[in-house]
Amino acid sequence: MSAGEQQINGAPKTPEVPASAAPPGSQAREPQPQTYEAASARVEEIIRRLDSGEASLEETLELIREGKALIELCAGQLSAVGDALQELRLDELVERLEAEARAE
């Protein structure tokens, strides 16, 4: 994690950019909501901006940094959901095996 990123609940937080430091043509943004849906939507916005070819070099660099942090956030949340589903499946398997053992 770079020096400018912070960590919240094990997931990187998108660094805040003061309005005066925002690249030309970009809007200073409030801290991003840390949900998968919001992060995913923002990544799509970033991709569209980068694909437009209109971003300056400085803005491109900032968008890439922000996108990377958001993608890491999404990956962490997806991993947590996957782990929870795996645990749920294991719990169901244990319950089924215990039920079968009691039935015998």
CATH code for residues 6-103: 1.10.287.1040
Q: How far apart are CA 57 and CA 23, in angstroms?
A: 9
Q: Is the pTM of this model over 0.75?
A: no
- The domain locations on the chain are 6-103
Handedness of CA 36, 42, 47, 48 (dihedral sign): positive
The 10s digit of each residue's pLDDT in 10-36 is 444 443 333 333 444 445 454 555 899
Q: Which residue has the higher pLDDT, 1 or 57?
A: 57
Whether the predicted pLDDT of 82 surpasses 80 = yes
Tokens of 101: 């053992």
Whether the predicted pLDDT of 80 surpasses 50 = yes
DSSP 65: H
Q: Using 50, 70 and 90 to split pLDDT, how confident is the model at 52?
A: very high
